[in-house]
Homo-oligomer: A and B are copies of this chain.
């Protein structure tokens, strides 16, 4: 492929051919006429052909130069459009959101109608996916993730603030002897894969017991076991509220630990769609605050 002459020389040619004047071209390109003159002279040397002829005070392009200028104009247009489209994409392209499946099904779906009716819900691309999407390479603008709210190179905002505390059946044997955190070290503990008891014990400066015995992946099953009086489970404020109200579960003693874990809205602070991200984020946060508690989803 033939080497491309200096780009600015081509621009100068194009502008000069259009204006039929070096001075006008120079003005348009914000340089002096001398610069245009030199560029075109160099271009003529490189192409091996005269491109302009001076006629009085006008510069007349040769037919060949005119044709070349036209083609160059097309090329420049393509480039300008490419850049313009890139910028426009930040405004018009869907806001791609990678969403935790649990969050999507248990929390977002019931609110989807409301979201879509709101301006914040315009032009979204909701991707419900298990894996943690890569913001840059996957073209994801925003994500809803479960975790401690600390991820590399992204900003995040907590959607729900949740408290962890022990719960058990009101009929649990030895319930009366449980008066504080230390007492739990000897009690039968029910474990959960993603919310280990260690979160609780370490908050009180205690060495947590090994995560052994019954380990549940599903919170519903965990709480069911607790309700049956098999042991003490670590409950989440959002999830056990109903059971506490109904008396199916009780708290052996007061005192909760604010959990670091939870659902977070995550985004890159250098995203080009920051404005739209903020709008949606604020809507989600407001919505979460509105109905705090009972409907919180369970992470995978």
A: which residues have CB within 8 A of B? 1-2, 4-5, 7-8, 10, 47-50, 52-53, 55, 60-64, 67-68, 71-72, 74-87, 89-90, 93, 134, 136-139, 268, 270-272
Contact = CB atoms under 8 A, between A and B. Distances in A.
Given A60-B136, A62-B137, A137-B53, A81 B71 contact: yes
Most buried by B among A93, A136, A271: A136
Contacts of A53: 134, 136-137
7 contacts: A47-B272, A49-B86, A49-B270, A53-B136, A53-B137, A67-B89, A72-B82
A79 B136 contact: no
Contacts of A93: 64
A86 B50 CA distance: 12
B47 A86 contact: yes
Nearest to A53: B136
Nearest to A8: B7
B68 A82 contact: yes
A79 B83 contact: no
Given A5-B83, A76-B75, A83-B5, A90 B136 contact: no
Copy number in this complex? 2
B85 A50 contact: no
B55 A137 contact: yes
Contacts of A138: 63
A47 B272 CA distance: 9
B62 A83 contact: no
Contacts of A62: 136-137, 139
A47 B90 CA distance: 10
Nearest to A93: B64
A153 to B, nearest CB: 10
A264 to B, nearest CB: 21
A4 B79 contact: yes
Nearest to A59: B137
Nearest to A136: B53
B86 A10 contact: no
Nearest to A65: B86
